[in-house]
Structure 1
Amino acid sequence: MSYVLPHLHSGWHVDQAILREEERVVVIRFGRDADDQCMRQDEALLKIAEKVKNFAVIYLVDIDEVSDFNKMYELYDRNTIMFFFRNKHMMMDLGTGNNNKINWVLEDKQELIDIIETVYKGAKKGKGLTTQPNTDISWDEESSDRLP
């Protein structure tokens, strides 16, 4: 468990973190703090937190302590990362079929930075769904048409 990254200890705190941030992507790791997958993910997030601080803020939520979102966001995995921008859930197509969240441990620091930066750039352009970094295809949120 990372004691350095900020924890959100209630549903109200999660809502406020998502609501109050106007310029950066809110990255939330949902999971159980004592779980080994979450601990590994937290370490990777801690290592990139300083590098992404200009365009992202990272929070941790223990789903046993804060269960308000477990059903809404289908938080059944041991480790889940979700993205929000200006009070909107941001989706990312990483080719897994699940565009709502990352539900595996992603320890590659540069890959994490690239994903967060891609979500940020897409969010700033008004896109609700962005694609994995280094691809030429993105989706237009309004029409779901492919754009070059």
Structure 2
Amino acid sequence: MSSLLLKTLTKKEEIDRIIRDTIDEVLVLRFGRCTDTVCLQHDDILAKSVTDVSKFAKVALVDVDSEDVQVYVKYFDITWFPSTVFFFNAHHMKLDSGTADHTKWVGAFHIKQDFIDVVEVIYRGAMKGKMIVQCPVPPERIPKYNLLYKDV
């Protein structure tokens, strides 16, 4: 239900436009499905946090089932849902959360404050010119997953 409160992008052009047009704010793109229970939990946290981060961030959902967005799904190697990718002034921001993949946050945030803290750290780092920032979330609240590599 909370996913109805957030803008859902289903076309590559929409994603390109929002990345390009979001200036001096963190852009949060959640890749997933609106029918997945973990995505719904994640969307609920995002929707509850939107007003708290509205001065320095914009949040949008990307429907991975749309054929038109598969170029982004492949580019960011989105295999687990939800996966959250961050941008600042059209630059991809990376988050070192102690996992093997710094390009995205994989899984749902456990609490609203974790999401707010991550977005704030990304914003502060981006304002200082950093492209990768340290994750402020305690390790016990960072989702664990195993990376799967094709043809290895």
TM exceeding 0.5: yes
* Residues 1:34 and 2:35 are matched in the alignment: yes
Q: Hey, what's the Cα distance between the residues in 1 that align with 2:16 and 2:88?
A: 12
Match of 1:115 in 2: 118
Match of 1:105 in 2: 108
Per-residue deviation at 1:107? 2.9
Match of 1:23 in 2: 24
Per-residue deviation at 1:134? 7.8
Q: Hey, what's the Cα distance between the residues in 2 that align with 1:134 and 1:61?
A: 24
Q: Is the contact between residue 114 and residue 137 of structure 2 (CA under 8 Å) also seen in structure 1? A: no
Secondary structure in 2 matching 1:127: coil
Secondary structure in 2 matching 1:16: helix
Q: Hey, what's the Cα distance between the residues in 2 that align with 1:14 and 1:45?
A: 18
TM-score (norm 1): 0.87
Give the partner amino acid of 2:85.
Answer: M
Per-residue deviation at 1:78? 1.7
Q: Kindly report which structure 2 residues correspond to 1:63-78, keeping only aligned pairs within 5 A, or say none.
A: 63-65=64-66, 66-78=69-81
Which ranges of structure 2 fall in alignment gaps of 5 or more residues? 139-152
Q: Hey, what's the Cα distance between the residues in 2 that align with 1:75 and 1:95?
A: 18
Match of 1:124 in 2: 127
Secondary structure in 2 matching 1:130: strand
Q: Is the contact between residue 30 and residue 84 of structure 2 (CA under 8 Å) also seen in structure 1? A: yes
RMSD of Structure 2 on Structure 1 (CA): 1.4
Per-residue deviation at 1:9? 1.9
Match of 1:95 in 2: 98
- Sequence identity percentage: 35
Q: Hey, what's the Cα distance between the residues in 2 that align with 1:134 and 1:62?
A: 26
Per-residue deviation at 1:96? 1.5
Question: After the TM superposition, which segments of 4 or more aligned residues of structure 1 sit over 2 Å from their partners?
Answer: none
Q: Hey, what's the Cα distance between the residues in 1 that align with 2:117 and 2:100?
A: 19
Q: Hey, what's the Cα distance between the residues in 1 that align with 2:26 and 2:82?
A: 19
- Greater shift, 92-101 or 22-31, is seen at 92-101
Match of 1:141 in 2: none
TM-score (norm 2): 0.85
* Residues 1:85 and 2:88 are matched in the alignment: yes
How many residue pairs match? The answer is 135
User: For each residue in 1:10-61, what CA deviation from the matched residue of structure 2 results, as whole angstroms up to 9, or x when unmatched?
Assistant: 0110011010011100000001111111111000000000000001000000
Per-residue deviation at 1:68? 2.5
Q: Hey, what's the Cα distance between the residues in 2 that align with 1:120 and 1:67?
A: 27
- Richer in helix (by share): 2
